[in-house]
A and B are shown apart, each in its own frame.
Chain A
Amino acid sequence: MGVWQSYRLRLKRRRWRIRAFRKRREMRALASRTSRIKPGDILLFCTLRNEHIRLPYFLKYYREMGVNHFLFVDNGSTDGSGDYLAQQEDCSVWHTDASYKKSRFGVDWLNWLQMRYAHGHWCLTVDPDEFLVYPFCDTRPLRALTDWLDASSIKSFAAMLLDMYPKGRIDEQPYRMGQDPIEIANWFDAGNYVISKNHNFGNLWIQGGPRARVFFPDKPAKAPALNKIPLVKWHRSYVYASSTHMLLPRGLNLVYDEWGGEKASGVLLHSKFLDTFAVKAAEELTRNQHYSASVEYKAYAASLQDNPELWCKWSEKYINWRQLEILGLMSKGNWA
């Protein structure tokens, strides 16, 4: 990489940090328990809107995994998500009614909170419908992973988004509060992902899965990105560049091996496709607050009307992380 490009990325990072700093005013603390964060705690950051129904299970899942403190940005929820979270002893909640789009899809808000509270912590950034699976997650807590990453001098951990969907119509089985969404949406596409390298930021760009297969069969280039780097040993000078797809400085995006080996990686089970999805898609379409003029949601709305079935004959039923590792969707790397 040339000096010039390196300098431009540095400027970009600074711009985003300033932007995050300015956006801090858009947020108002509903409950701030950040003084309880102890050194070495694992933090979880999340932006959400009207996700109350998912939250009890979400909190349970990550508490059991070993997350010590949750930091939420509630973007104008009207279903009581904010109040529910404010009552939780291990949550800090900020409220904002500002534009999701203008905060670069929540990234600016979280960048600010991370700059402020995550320095020196392992920090997990996920959406309320994303569930992290990492090697040995059934027998080892998240701290075992972060300790190992620390010992190996690894600062960021990749976990690609794996779209989960139910067999049958998406709205066939209603989701109950507190239920594991993977009980309903327990199928996935095992091997139809394409990867290219983003030479500017050094990250991989992964597309494919059921969304490319069903919603974008004619223009796969428009299919959403699935690469994510949700777990980072944060330093206050880091920024997420675009969602959690990539970061700056760009060394953090080098979560893949280029010389034939496999680095350790996980998977984010994406439980978006539940019965709640149709309502959400319709709402997001009118709000027009999503990436690239909500092109994704437009495609969903069009396809969902006639045939909301993502399942196909070659879908795989989810069992556990070992299955994902055998299928080559994630890897143990040299963690044994």
Chain B
Amino acid sequence: MLVHTALGRAEQVARHWAASGCPVVIHVDKSVPKKTHDSFVAALSDLPDVKFCARHRCEWGTWGIVAGSQSASELMLEKFPQVRHVYLASGSCLPLRPVQELIDYLTDRPRTDFIESATTADVPWTVGGLDRERFTLRFPFSWKKRRYLFDRYVNFQRKIGYRRRIPRGIVPHMGSQWWCLTRQTLSAILQDPERETYDRYFRKVWIPDESYFQTLARQYSTNIESRSLTLSKFDFQGKPHIFYDDHLQLLRRSDCFVARKIWPHADRLYQVFLTDAAGAMKRTEPNPGKIDRIFAKAVERRTRGRPGLYMQSRFPNYGWENGMTSGPYSVFQGFSDLFEDFEPWLAKATGARVHGHLFAPKRVEFAGGEAVMNGALSDSAPIRDYVPAAFLTNLVWSTRGERQCFQMAPRDAQDIAQFIAKDPNAQISVISGAWSVPLFKSNRNFADIRKEAAKLQKIENDFLDIMRSPNTKARVRIWTMAEFIEAPMEPLQTIIDEIGHRALRRLSEVPKMADLTGFGQFLQNLKNQGMHPYLMGDFPVTRDTGQQPGNPRKPYLVK
């Protein structure tokens, strides 16, 4: 057992092992003060089967831990000849199942070595990009205390192409440092005539405690089972996850013999697993996968995060969002101008939440004219325009699970255009030039209309430029107005299908298109005034003059 802190807990665990008839050899880190060490030794002096071995200084990633394990193993093999399996544990390991179960388990497998051992090429465990190089470079500087020198020296060696020679006959393997070896294998490693060579080599390997026994066991063992009996989960930085009181149920169902690492103040865990044999026995059905899932999720959360979330501890740089927004949404430009009842129709056809012009200049037009929306988003235009992208990401985040649709127009605040164009979650459909329909319908002086039309056309043109830029990742569809009214059902069907909330079926109901009688003439009038409307496509003046005057066109219906 290797210990360095929380000696009180280590004592408890040592007693637990000893009480079940397992001899214990303890290695105490040399950096533990003498006084603490002595009182620890004294506290355990009543147990004849607990021995202390020579102390080494153990710093993470250095040779000391291996040296400690070696001394402890030698002492164990020498003092307790009856021992057949040696289990390497730490002071923060906690036996989960009764020790007798472990003894029985090992008795049934007298020749098996339990040691996780894999070649570096085959596992993705390593952190920091050092896998093969752990064995071919030198690491004289501490990673924890002298990181700068450590990194510099590694880079230097890479640059000059330095490579250490790996001793003949060994193939580097790595794995969990917590193993359980048979006397045969362990003594073969410790009494190897070449041990001097191996030790010298591994002294300068990085994190030798994860490779020394793992490599050498491959030399001698007849029967390796490459897994650790100790449940130990690592996070993305390669440090072990810690277990707390609230993991009790999880540990009970873990089916493992020993877990690490346990928080020293987790009183309940220690109480249940060390003193209350009945409580530990009372195991529910084992479900070791659950622990895996919980910790895998924690790593995922730390490295990938929740898509579309911007918050105090997740503020990704551009391009690293893993989803600029948390879900798909749709933007419609021109539809509500061309169709009179587009919003209610869309809501009915898709089941999505359909907002009005979210970026309208005066106030945010939330669905149903609400003043506040999910997440307590305010309809105040200044608040929205303060950071428009945050407004949109907040809305999409707060309505997760429900698709949002909203209208845009050249009359609206345009700052959001860049953002939605780059967002793969955005489905943007534009009927270009449709902004002219409200102007056409309005009862304003023609000079004003002309001015307004020129302004809106310019804004929409800029918008379309953004949408057509090569950086655009959104799903963009653009029709000119002339194109669209030729055959409106097809594009509508495509859009609705893509939103895809309802079962795919043909649209039975269509939105009512505005009456466009005289629209061609209206455009011609604009042209005559020197303002050339080009975004709506080719609208011949004759198109509606061909119709019977006084016979208003019927709402468009297509089957």
In the complex the two chains form, is A136's CB within 8 Å of B244's CB? yes
User: Does A334 touch B at the CB level, under 8 Å?
Assistant: yes
Chain A residues with Cβ below 8 Å from B310 are 195
Most chain B C-beta atoms within 10 Å of own C-beta, residue among A148, A210, A333: A333
In the complex the two chains form, is B383's CB within 8 Å of A261's CB? no
User: Does B377 touch A at the CB level, under 8 Å?
Assistant: yes
Complex: A218 Cα to B385 Cα, angstroms? 10
In the complex the two chains form, is B306's CB within 8 Å of A328's CB? yes
In the complex the two chains form, is A259's CB within 8 Å of B320's CB? yes
Binary CB contact string for chain A from 186 to 209 against chain B (1 if under 8 A, 0 otherwise): 000111111111000000101100
Binary CB contact string for chain B from 358 to 390 against chain A (1 if under 8 A, 0 otherwise): 000000000000111111111010110011001
In the complex the two chains form, is A264's CB within 8 Å of B313's CB? yes
In the complex the two chains form, is A191's CB within 8 Å of B301's CB? no
Picked from B244, B302, B386, the residue with its CB within 8 Å of the CB of A261 is: B302
Chain A residues with Cβ below 8 Å from B304 are 260-261
Picked from B320, B375, B386, the residue with its CB within 8 Å of the CB of A260 is: B320
Complex: A153 Cα to B313 Cα, angstroms? 16
Picked from B244, B265, B383, the residue with its CB within 8 Å of the CB of A220 is: B383
In the complex the two chains form, is B316's CB within 8 Å of A144's CB? no
Most chain A C-beta atoms within 10 Å of own C-beta, residue among B309, B313, B375, B397: B313
In the complex the two chains form, is A210's CB within 8 Å of B376's CB? yes
Residue of A nearest to B322 (CB): A260
User: Does B548 touch A at the CB level, under 8 Å?
Assistant: no
User: Does B442 touch A at the CB level, under 8 Å?
Assistant: no
Chain A residues with Cβ below 8 Å from B246 are 136, 139-140
A107-147 residues with Cβ-Cβ distance < 8 A to B are 136, 139-141, 143-144, 147
In the complex the two chains form, is B301's CB within 8 Å of A332's CB? yes
In the complex the two chains form, is B301's CB within 8 Å of A189's CB? no
Nearest CB of chain A from residue B250's CB, rounded to whole Å: 10
Residue of A nearest to B399 (CB): A191
In the complex the two chains form, is B375's CB within 8 Å of A204's CB? no
User: Does B487 touch A at the CB level, under 8 Å?
Assistant: no
Chain B residues with Cβ below 8 Å from A210 are 376
Residue of B nearest to A314 (CB): B376
Chain A residues with Cβ below 8 Å from B18 are none
User: Does B237 touch A at the CB level, under 8 Å?
Assistant: yes
- Interface segment among A18-26, A250-258, A284-292: the answer is A250-258
Residue of B nearest to A264 (CB): B313
User: Does A177 touch B at the CB level, under 8 Å?
Assistant: no
Beyond A260-B321, A314-B372, whether A140 also contacts B316 by CB under 8 A is no
Nearest CB of chain B from residue A263's CB, rounded to whole Å: 4
User: Does B239 touch A at the CB level, under 8 Å?
Assistant: yes
Interface size on B, residues (CB 8 A): 53
Residue of B nearest to A311 (CB): B376
User: Does B82 touch A at the CB level, under 8 Å?
Assistant: no
Residue of A nearest to B308 (CB): A328
Nearest CB of chain B from residue A178's CB, rounded to whole Å: 28
Chain B residues with Cβ below 8 Å from A160 are 311-312
Nearest CB of chain A from residue B138's CB, rounded to whole Å: 24
Picked from A191, A221, A261, A332, the residue with its CB within 8 Å of the CB of B303 is: A261
Binary CB contact string for chain A from 254 to 275 against chain B (1 if under 8 A, 0 otherwise): 0111111111110000000000
Binary CB contact string for chain B from 284 to 322 against chain A (1 if under 8 A, 0 otherwise): 000000000011011101111110011111111100111
Beyond A260-B320, A262-B301, A336-B294, whether A330 also contacts B375 by CB under 8 A is no
Beyond A136-B244, A261-B305, whether A256 also contacts B314 by CB under 8 A is yes
Nearest CB of chain A from residue B404's CB, rounded to whole Å: 13
Chain A residues with Cβ below 8 Å from B236 are 334
User: Does B245 touch A at the CB level, under 8 Å?
Assistant: yes
User: Does B427 touch A at the CB level, under 8 Å?
Assistant: no
Binary CB contact string for chain A from 228 to 256 against chain B (1 if under 8 A, 0 otherwise): 00000000000000000000000000011
Nearest CB of chain A from residue B386's CB, rounded to whole Å: 4
Complex: A217 Cα to B320 Cα, angstroms? 31
B188-236 residues with Cβ-Cβ distance < 8 A to A are 235-236
Complex: A159 Cα to B188 Cα, angstroms? 54
User: Does A227 touch B at the CB level, under 8 Å?
Assistant: yes
User: Does A61 touch B at the CB level, under 8 Å?
Assistant: no
Complex: A144 Cα to B370 Cα, angstroms? 44
User: Does A65 touch B at the CB level, under 8 Å?
Assistant: no
Chain B residues with Cβ below 8 Å from A193 are 311, 390, 394
Contacts beyond the supplied A192-B377, A192-B394, A220-B386: 6 A-B pairs with Cβ under 8 Å = A220-B382, A256-B315, A257-B316, A261-B302, A331-B314, A334-B235
A and B contact pairs by CB, cutoff 8 A, 18 listed: A152-B237, A190-B375, A191-B394, A195-B315, A257-B314, A258-B315, A258-B317, A260-B304, A260-B314, A260-B316, A260-B322, A261-B303, A261-B305, A262-B306, A312-B371, A314-B373, A329-B311, A333-B313
Q: Which residues from chain A sit less than 8 Å from chain B, CB to CB?
A: 136, 139-141, 143-144, 147-148, 151-152, 158-160, 189-197, 204, 206-207, 210, 212-213, 216-221, 227, 255-265, 312-316, 328-336
